[in-house]
Amino acid sequence: MGRLKMPPGINAIEEEPEDYDSSCSNKATLGCVINTEIAAVLAVMRRNVRWGGRYMSGDDQLEHSLIQSLKALRKQIFSWQHQWHTVNPILYLQPFLDVIRSDETGAPITGVALSSVYKILTLDVIDQTTANVEDAMHLVVDSVTSCRFEVTDPASEEVVLMKILQVLLACMKSKASVMLSNQHVCTIVNTCFRIVHQAGSKGELLQRIARHTMHELVRCIFSHLPDVDNTEHALVNGGNKVKQEVRGPDSEYAFGTQQLDNGNSGSEHDGQLSSGSFASNSSTAPIPGMMDEIGAGAGKDAVPVDLQMMTEPYGVPSLVEIFHFLCSLLNLFEHTGPRSNTIGFDEDVPLFALGLINSAIELGGPSIRRHPRLLSLVQDELFRNLMQFGLSMSPLILSMVCSIVLNLYQHLRTELKLQLEAFFSCVILRLAQSRYGASYQQQEVAMEALVDFCRQKTFMVEMYANLDCDITCSNVFEDLANLLSKSAFPVNCPLSSMHILALDGLIAVIQGMAERIANGSLSSEQAPVALDEYTPFWLVKCDDYGDPNHWVPFVRRRKYIKRRLMIGADHFNRDPKKGLEFLQGTHLLPDKLDPQSVACFFRYTAGLDKNLVGDFLGNHDEFCVQVLHEFAGTFDFQDMHLDTALRLFLETFRLPGESQKIQRVLEAFSERYYEQSPQILVNKDAALLLSYSLIMLNTDQHNIQVKKKMTEEDFIRNNRHINGGSDLPRDFLIELYHSICKNEIRTTPEQGAGYPEMNPSRWIDLMHKSKRTAPFIISDSRAYLDHDMFAIMSGPTIAAISVVFDHADHEEVYQTCIDGFLAVAKISACHHLEDVLDDLVVSLCKFTTLLNPSSVDEPVLAFGDDAKARMATITVFTIANRYGDYIRTGWRNILDCILRLHKLGLLPARVASDAADETEVSAEPGHGKPVANSLAAAHMPSMGTPRRSSGLMGRFSQLLSLDTEEPRSQPTEQQLAAHQRTLQTIQKCHIDSIFTESKFLQAESLLQLARALIWAAGRPQKGNSSPEDEDTAVFCLELLIAITLNNRDRIVLLWQGVYEHIANIVQSTVMPCALVEKAVFGLLRICQRLLPYKENLADELLRSMQLVLKLDARVADAYCEQITQEVSRLVKANATHIRSQMGWRTITSLLSITARHPEASEAGFDALLFIMSDGAHLLPANYVLSVDASRQFAESRVGQAERSVRALDLMAGSVDSLARWACEAREAMAEDEFAKMSQDIGEMWLRLVQGLRKVCLDQREEVRNHALLSLQRCLTGVDGIQLPHNLWSQCFDLVIFTMLDDLLEIAQGQSQKDYRNLEGTHILAMKLLSKVFLQLLHDLSQLTAFCKLWLGVLSRMEKYMKVKVRGKKSEKLQELVPELLKNTLLVMKTGGVLVQRSALGGDSLWELTWLHVNNIAPSLQSEVFPDEELPQAETQGNQICSNVDALLSFMGHSYNGEGLLGVHTRSLSRNRSIPIQTCVSLLIYSEPGMLSANDDGDFVS
């Protein structure tokens, strides 16, 4: 029955008595207490003359009945044997209560009796288990509330009133209070309020105690609300009685229909605010009936009460009555204004009432929503009054109103969606802006309240989701965010507390978003919203408002629709037709327009030009008329008064001026109104006529040009017989008349009126809408919508924080701003809003003062003294380190700051250290961290101009006058402290981390960082740049190289830009300098470090090294040795990774150049040695290139001849690699592949011998002769290589013959004096010719051009016979050539190559041979082919063997008995059993090692 539950273990609120032990269970003790109280009352009574006499005058009684009853109780108390809880409390309370109710007792006696009752109540004797407790409690309340006493003096009267309050509060706090009925609880509150009212004319103490007691009562009563049963019976007040007031499936309570609906509703509590006291000075008087509407249902808006329920134990009915009474107090002050009583109605009483309401809501809290009647009071009457008092001029009242709304938001926001929207739109947003006439105090209170709301973590999210994303609601989140941003801006004024307050609110919102990021559900993962087809936008619903998976996409879609509608409204305002076409194109209106969709567009879209809407709706076109009727159908006029409905209708557009249009509009309105509210009107025509009449009355009353105004009677007369031939009720018409007279219907609503004031008709419409609005969405702590919200507010927020930061002077404000900046950065990064982060970085960099042109003498000191600049600097680099992934163009500004610090010498050492340096320089102390007292060293020692003193200690030493000659004063303590602060700031920045940790940056950010470095370095100029510009360019290049090396896995991303930048430097530099040095060696280091990891990029990297070849000669000369060392290191570390011919061409080109450089040649040759020694790193791809490079070193006269000899050995030794490749190819390849490989090997071999041929002409004898021997080795040591026969023909033409001719030419030329011992070279050359020819005779004889080749051999021998060295022929050659020729002829004869053939036409080979031979040695023919044959084979054999012996001994001499023909001649001559021809053939054609001699000197195979 709506009463309190008291489950076991839950105790009622109780107050412990001050002077007594709370548990007086002992019977005797309790008896003593009561006895003491009886004695106290009797003692006071005896002091009074009336009670002191022995007999009562004119009466037979000895004593007065009051005294008798007290004495009777005194006799009984010690005789009661039972437990106290079994004793009826009335027995021991009644005597005291009789004293209290008696009108014969004076104030002192009544006061003592009240004290006694209070003491008994606080002893905890009376509880729920006590006998007859309900009657006892009712008796106490009835007695105390009807207390009567004689007033003797004001002081004693106030004492009695205070004790009444004390007892009533004790009743409510007693354990037995649950037994009180609804009526008694209302009576207690009523009595307390009457005392509060009367206390206005009493002392200050009574006033304060009375108000405090009232607060305590309300708190005590509403703290029980969570324990109250919620039963249907309690809600419907006995069923039929309030049937009309209950509407809807939820049985929600709604206030009286007619009074509310006419726009003038309000509770007028005329309850006689009596100024009389409890009793006059001369007579006794009862407490006058005050505020009797509690429990009696008086007043217009009173909640109907079931009297039967009021007698039940207290629960919902009494709570509803009390809460309604508290709300009615606000109504009373609102409608009556100040009264002539002692309570100040302007501020004091509303504050008191609001305080009571706030207490009720604080303690009732969320339980209110379980009781629809209480909730209905909050939603309508309370909130309506709060809206009115919110615009009060009193800051105190406004503050209390805001506190109540904050409590309501916390507990009941799901039930107060539109009310909260109205409060923020019509109160907070109006007051917080000076343009609406609010005082500074009002603005400040409103702003404080708004900031309190912003500190609720989910407030802004819920405003956005529920209001900004609802097409029928205003953009509260956006408006509040803009308000905070604007309010934080100090415009033409110093920074004030208001600006800081607004900033706090803004940062609270931002930090709320930042905290939510950690909780997941970032909306950046969600797909962008798009409408693919038309759906009626006003019908979009959500399947489940409690599930984020449903409501998040739903509200985002709704917000998208709302934005599109706003854009459509903008188009419509410029051209209605194009506006509708735009909406059709975005699928917000159907392709074929229908009246309903256009009507809903007009009804629900904010920002439309109301003149255009009115013209469209008033148009006579059939479609427009249909739209008008659909438009009227969107209004809910249910149970609404006609003038209220008409006001709402005409607020949405401007009523056209033409009478026909007005008629069409009013017809549509009347039809809709009659359809929904036909109570008095009999048909729609009556509604139309009355509407017309109201419009005319409105014009008449509020148009200043109308001089004679319509009277009440005129209006009634004008509306006779319009209701179906009969008259409308006179009272109804009078009410309408006065409503229009007092409150104009605005037929021309203001365009974009900003934040309108709440009026009665708008409030009624709001209550209607609240029944149909979408449920309130509760947001949890995840970042569902923060991306969209932050995108809206980020720009103004950054601007506002920046302006405050700029204007602020206190470090607390700085820190607040910095917190805001960091929160903005975190949100921007996590929601991938790169533009916002860039804007933030740009804004912050301005505050570092590092970008400002230096106007101070000591910028380092100035920086150390500027806390704002230091904090901004730390913040910039904190953001760069934490959120660098999402910085784009902002890198340029960050680099500008870094460069400025660099120029000031403030950067820590090795800012640009990279991963390689950690191993290369690990021996350095303290490497890898910003060392405070280290000089900022360049990455590599510079070969160019020495860099100026840098590093923080460099600057510091300048300050200390350590590196200046002119005397300077010692730095002051302040200067030292400033330097120390600067040092600490730079340490906190961790600038080096930006570059060392760049490997973790996202690709796009990394690319932008690299581009920013290139941009900051500037484009290199061919002219002389200033040292400062060059220093900057070098520093940027160091950083660029560092991030390139740190990002080897992503080199493809960076490489193009890095390469082009280095190429620009190389190609534009004409003199050695630090920049080109850094560029060249940086490039080499990049190649050296990346080749092992990026084989797919090897060619690209190696091709880039060709830039070194493009260096200006002066630059190349300056750095040649170091470049060569780097290239050498690169080759040794990465030879296995270089596979392409192009890559090797670059390497060998660089090495070849060094052959003629004094300093560089050693390192270059060392690298070549590494490549070619033992063929370790020779490949088909680099063979020819390496051979050419070796030839360059062999020909080079830089250094000792020994190196040229070593180079020749490298060339000769490379033949083994060719043989190895040929062998591998033969085993592993298919036939066609092998043929191709053989051809390639042949070409390589040809290039090798051609190279050696060139060195054979060297001026140095040692080199020249060694080249000849190497060439011979290469020509005769090719048995493992299958060379094509035609290649040998080329070899003789291009190599052997050419070399012989060139040597001959040198001998005959003028330059022979430069060649020492040319004769020895000629001898070696002739031997080479003979040996090669003999070895290859078998193969050469198969050639078609053999004759030509043989004649070439004879021709060279002939020339060498005749050659003169220093004017005379060589004797050695004169001897050698015939001998060689003879041996050759013998071998040719034996091999059957040179034989006389008798054939027609003769034998040209035979004849030509002897033609040449006779020129050389005429006797040879007879020696080789004697005219007579020897008769014995033995003689012939001996002759040939002797010839072979001579040949072998000669040829073996040059090879020291080894080589192809180096076998023991004696063994061969002793083996007579072997045919002589076979011996010769074996000698000539056998491979090395096939023939050898045993221990006896015998020849074995």
Q: How many CB atoms lie within 10 A of CB 529?
A: 15
Of the listed 14, 158, 204, 658, which one is catalytic?
Answer: 658
d(CA 1467, CA 247): 137
380 bridge partner residues: none
Q: Which two tokens stand for residue 927?
A: 């490497």
Q: Are 485 and 789 in contact (CB under 8 A)?
A: no
Give φ, ψ of 150 to 5 degrees. -85, 130
Distances (CA, A) of 85 to 88, 114, 136, 511, 914: 8, 22, 12, 59, 88
Cα-based angle 349, 351, 352 (whole degrees, multiple of 5): 65
The answer to whether 1226 touches 1198, Cβ cutoff 8 Å, is: no
How many Å separate Cα 621 from the centre of its chain? 54
Strands 1492-1493 and 1368-1369: unpaired
Question: Would residue 658 show up in a list of annotated catalytic residues for this protein?
Answer: yes
Cβ within 8 Å of residue 76, ≥6 positions away: 91
Show the DSSP H helices in 1298-1432 as ranges.
1298-1308, 1318-1335, 1337-1340, 1346-1362, 1371-1390, 1404-1416, 1420-1424
For residue 1485, the SS3 value is helix
| Per-residue tokens: 175 | 């354990």
Grouping H, G, I as helix, E, B as strand and the rest as coil, residue 286 is: coil
- Sign of the Cα torsion 1473, 1476, 1477, 1481 reads positive
CA 62/CA 520 separation, integer angstroms: 88
Phi and psi torsions of 1492, nearest 5°: -155, 175
**Cα–Cα distance, 599 to 583 (Å, whole number):** 13
Residue 183: which of 292, 50, 338 has the closest Cα? 292
As a whole number of angstroms, the distance between CA 606 and CA 475 comes to 10
The number of C-alpha atoms within 13 Å of 812 and in the hemisphere containing its C-beta is: 5
Spatial separation of the C-alpha atoms in residues 1358 and 1408, rounded to whole Å: 13
d(Cα 976, Cα 971) in Å, to the nearest integer?
7
Contact call for residues 1498 and 1474 (beta carbons, < 8 A): no
3-state secondary structure of 1090: helix
Measure the CA–CA gap between 525 and 514, rounded to whole angstroms. Answer: 17
Q: Are 1043 and 1010 in contact, with CB atoms under 8 Å apart?
A: yes
* Cα–Cα distance, 910 to 166 (Å, whole number): 80
**Contacts of range 1190-1193, beta carbons closer than 8 Å, 24 or more positions apart:** 1190/1214, 1190/1251, 1191/1251, 1191/1252, 1191/1254, 1191/1255, 1192/1152, 1192/1155, 1192/1156, 1193/1155, 1193/1161, 1193/1164, 1193/1165, 1193/1168
- Amino acid, res. 80: W
CA distance 1072 to 358: 83
Tell me the three-class secondary structure of 53-92, residue by residue. CCCCCCCCCCCCHHHHHHHHHHHHHCCCCCCHHHCCHHHH
Two tokens, residue 404: 């109540």
Active centre residues (catalytic): 658
